[in-house]
Amino acid sequence: MNRNKRPLSCAFIAALVLAQATGQGQEVAPSNKPVAPAVLPGRGLSQHDFFYAGEAKTRDMYIVRAGRIAWSYHDSGGKGEISDAVLLANGNVLFAHQFGVTLITPEKKTLWNYDAPPHCETHTAQPIGTNHVIFIQNGPEPRILVANLATGKMERDLPLPVGNAKSTHGQFRHARLTDAGTYLVAHMDLRKVAEYDETGQQVWSADAPGGAWSAVRLPNGHTLVCGKVVREIDVKGETVWEFTAADVPDYKFDSMQIATRLPNGDTLINNWVNQWSGKIDPATAPVQALEVTPGKKVVWALRSWNDPDLGPSTTIQLLDEPGAPGKAHFGNIW
Backbone φ and ψ for 259, nearest 5 degrees, come out as -120, 140
Let me know: does 218 contact 232? Beta carbons within 8 Å. yes
pLDDT digits (tens, 9 = 90+) for 249-273: 999 998 999 999 999 999 999 999 9
pLDDT on residue 284: 93
Which residue ranges form the domains of the chain, and what is each CATH number? 32-200+210-314 (2.120.10.30)
pLDDT at 78: 80
Q: Are 160 and 143 in contact (CB under 8 A)?
A: yes
* Poorest-pLDDT segment among 171-175, 236-240, 282-286: 282-286
Name the DSSP letter for residue 116.
P
CA distances from 212 to 104, 131, 255 (A): 29, 29, 12
- If one counts every other C-beta atom within 10 angstroms of the C-beta of residue 98, the result is 23
Neighbours of 331 (CB within 10 A): 15
Instruction: Specify the pLDDT at position 33.
Output: 59
Helices then strands, counting H and E runs in the chain, come out as 1, 24
* Burial degree of 257 (CB within 10 A; 0-12, 13-18, 19+): buried
Task: Give yes or no for a contact between 214 and 173, defined as CB atoms under 8 angstroms apart.
Answer: yes
Q: How far apart are CA 71 and CA 51, in angstroms?
A: 9
Give the CA distances from residue 159 to residues 14, 214, 230, 255, in Å, rounded to whole numbers and listed in that order: 23, 19, 28, 29
pLDDT digits (tens, 9 = 90+) for 10-53: 444 444 444 444 334 333 444 455 799 999 999 999 999 999 99
Tens digit of each residue's pLDDT (9 = 90 or more) over 115-165: 999 999 999 999 999 999 999 999 999 999 999 999 999 999 999 999 999
Name the helix (H) or strand (E) containing 225.
strand 223-226
Query: What is the tens place of the pLDDT at every residue in 68-99?
Result: 999 999 987 788 999 999 999 999 999 999 99
Q: What does the mean pLDDT of the chain come to? A: 90
What was the pLDDT predicted at 321?
74
Distance CA 293, CA 270 (A): 15
Report CA torsion sign: 200, 201, 204, 209: positive
Share of the chain above pLDDT 90, in %: 84
Mean local confidence (pLDDT), 301-330: 92
**Could you check whether the bond before residue 308 is cis, i.e. omega within 30 degrees of 0?**
yes
Phi, psi of 134 (to 5 degrees): -110, 135
